[in-house]
Structure 1
Amino acid sequence: MTIRRNRIYTDLLRSTYRTIWGNWGLNTSIKPGAVGIIDTDSGDFKLVADCLPGVEISKNQQSRKWDFKSTGVTCRSINANVGGVIFDPSTGAEVKPDAALEWTFDKENSITSEFAIAGEHAISNLTVLDDQYDWLLAQARKLNMATASGISEGFGVVTSVIYASSGLNAAAKKSKASFTVSGSASGLNRLLGEGGISGKGKASYVFTSNSSEVETHTLPAKSGEVATEPLPVAYTFASFAGSRVLIPSWVGKIGVLNLLVDSKASSFTTYTTKLTLSYQTPAGPVEDSRTVVGGSSASFGEIPLTATEMVLTAEFINIGSNTRKSMRWNTPASEWLGGTRTVNLTGTWPGAPNMTEVES
């Protein structure tokens, strides 16, 4: 069975960052403007071209700690059980190891990701993706990532990258695995961003144990070295909807759009509502209707990604004049994260009804 570390890592990160992709192996080809393909099953990025022509990059330097753990992963300080003296790369002196950190993993394939973040770099002119669409389409066609309608989902451009100055990713190869890093207290603190990231000294570690029980990717890469250039730990990615329609935060295969209209958000919703959804497609206009009674819901599915100028109209049935409300999305494939959206209907007759958009 293939272990999909990037997929596991990405799913863990998305509990906090909903639009992000993880870079488990610290792949250096991932940078703002990089053109490539993401395999949604594995979460892996395959580079196609180093940089999209015309890209401009903005850099936001920031110092913070990055700490993500699967359930059942713990880290604690233990006595440094290393004899003799070692060369501490953070100070250049020979010292006796005075600190150690031990991670334990209850379950196989559980992971930890701990880094000192250096900053975020991002494309500052996202309009360049539309300007360079023909160039991107030509690259996609070479790799069978395009149809007659345009660029397929999964082919696109890295739009932003979170960089770390030091740290580690570790995954358990078996249940009850453990992993220890030893060194000087100052070097280990800076390695993981503990106690502040700025200051004297450099991030380092000088000894590891039980490394056969875990898969690790560390910065610096080797014991006894110091971290030099920041490496990418996570990124965002833009793709296309099988056409020229841009999906600026692509988080996985969408296929079609789905809209749920729900009157169950409040138990006090009593209105019966007539719904009409209209939108434009390359094949022509589309209109669809539903009726929702209080406490029920309706869905509009199989909406093409190429839908534009979408309008949802809700007519709340009343004694006398009905109340009409509407919502509009110019390009829902670009606006609905993951291709889904929910609209809640609320209101108790004869009070004023309302419709509220709930972002995914």
Structure 2
Amino acid sequence: MTISRNRIYTDLLRGTYRTIWGNWGLNPAIKPGAVGIIDADSGDFKLVAECLPGVEISKNQQSRKWDFKSTGVTCRSINTSVAGLIFDPNTGAEVKPDATLEWSFDKENSITSEFAISGEHTVSNLAILNDQYDWLLAQARNLNMATGAGISEGFGVVTSVIYASSGLNAVSKKSKASFTVSGSASGLNRLLGEDGINGKGKASYVFSSNSSEVETHTLPAKSGEVATEPLPVAYTFASFAGSRVLIPSWVGKIGVLNLLVDSKASSFTTYSTKVTLSYQTPTGPVEESRTVIGGSSTSFGEIPLTATEMTLTAEFISIGSNIRKSLRWNTPASEWLGGTRTVNLTGTWPGAPQMAEVKR
């Protein structure tokens, strides 16, 4: 099966930004407030409506470099070999290129993503998604993205977008691939965000090579041009849990919730612990209890996304009075990234045991 470039790109970005989706092809339709569908397998976004009614956008201008590379991708400056004079949009004159950068890729499907970031635009009133739920549900039903329970996962709203003023995405089509970009040193520096986005010079490049080995998406789109508008390189997305439960940072299909209770985080955990999980559902309350022996773990799976008012209580068995601790989540589908959560139990008798939520 061919792996989507956007899926590879998103996975690379999530090593740093856990809630983000990549925009590999620099799709300009991805804007804060845009309504659409994300294919969780490919990471591709399909626009349904340009903007959610009533949405408000806040804009944060920035000036920073964006630089992500797969393992085995390198970039170096090499001797310029472009002959003759070429029009340089950075200066408006014909110039002899004085700088060339070469990227090398060890493996097929390796990625580099380098941009000059111009800012981040964000939906400032996320409550509008709940206020406009009926409108969103109607759009979802028209596209078979809803059931009797409500909106299906993957249909929702772009909540924030990172914009770039210039730069490039590149992926190798084969192992040991390479490509070069030539131009003026100042133009290339601004293209890749080395000098930020401010100043008199403009981001540009005047020549690139080896397009047969590497797929690229550049800003500006063509050699000899200057970008006129920033484009989105990445974004965050909100969806719903098959009902009115909002998932503000949707990162992929959840289906059900899973909770792991682990006493193996520390080799010195000696307490045996009775753990009880209780929550409300549309069909009534649910309660389950398990016993966790020191150095072991247990899990609560197949928890419905509609679970609310959830409480996990740990009763550490001790001589005399047992020690009780608890954690609570009002809407875990909204709070647990990816629909999973881990709780660690630690402590050596007769010392005080601890119960800690692991947010990762």
Which TM-score band (shorter chain)? over 0.9
Post-superposition shift, 1:358?
Answer: 0.2
SS for the counterpart of 1:242 is coil
TM-score (norm 1): 0.99
The aligned runs of 1:202-351 (5 Å cut-off) are 202-351=202-351
Post-superposition shift, 1:195?
Answer: 3.1
TM-score (norm 2): 0.99
Residue of structure 2 equivalent to 1:72: 72
1:41-97 deviation line (CA, Å, top 9, x unaligned): 111000000000000000000000000111111100011111111111011111110
SS for the counterpart of 1:211 is coil
Structure 2 unpaired stretches of 5+ = none
Q: Distance in 2 between matches of 1:261 and 1:107?
A: 39
RMSD over aligned Cα atoms: 0.7
Q: Distance in 1 between matches of 2:208 and 2:163?
A: 24
Residue 161 (structure 2) pairs with residue 153 (structure 1): no
1:244-303 deviation line (CA, Å, top 9, x unaligned): 000000000000000000011111111110010000000100000000010000100000
Q: Distance in 2 between matches of 1:44 and 1:253?
A: 14
Runs (4+) off by over 4 Å: none
1:96-119 deviation line (CA, Å, top 9, x unaligned): 100010001111111110000000
Call closer, same or farther: CA 1:310–1:173 in 2, change over 3 Å: same
Is 2:76–2:101's contact at 8 Å kept on the other side of the alignment? yes
Q: Distance in 2 between matches of 1:225 and 1:3?
A: 31
Q: Distance in 2 between matches of 1:295 and 1:229?
A: 56
SS for the counterpart of 2:212 is helix
Residue of structure 1 equivalent to 2:41: 41
Post-superposition shift, 1:3?
Answer: 4.0
Residue of structure 1 equivalent to 2:8: 8
Q: Distance in 2 between matches of 1:101 and 1:3?
A: 28
SS for the counterpart of 2:333 is helix
Q: Give aligned pairs, total.
A: 360
Identity level (%): 89
Residue of structure 2 equivalent to 1:99: 99
Q: Distance in 2 between matches of 1:54 and 1:212?
A: 46
SS for the counterpart of 1:212 is coil
Is 2:31–2:161's contact at 8 Å kept on the other side of the alignment? yes
Q: Distance in 2 between matches of 1:319 and 1:150?
A: 50
Residue of structure 1 equivalent to 2:197: 197
Q: Distance in 2 between matches of 1:279 and 1:149?
A: 19
Q: Distance in 1 between matches of 2:339 and 2:2?
A: 28
Structure 1 unpaired stretches of 5+ = none
Residue 133 (structure 2) pairs with residue 133 (structure 1): yes
1:314-333 deviation line (CA, Å, top 9, x unaligned): 00011111111110000000
Post-superposition shift, 1:200?
Answer: 1.3
SS for the counterpart of 1:65 is strand
Q: Distance in 1 between matches of 2:177 and 2:187?
A: 24
Q: Distance in 2 between matches of 1:72 and 1:318?
A: 53
Is 2:165–2:197's contact at 8 Å kept on the other side of the alignment? no
Q: Distance in 2 between matches of 1:197 and 1:35?
A: 30
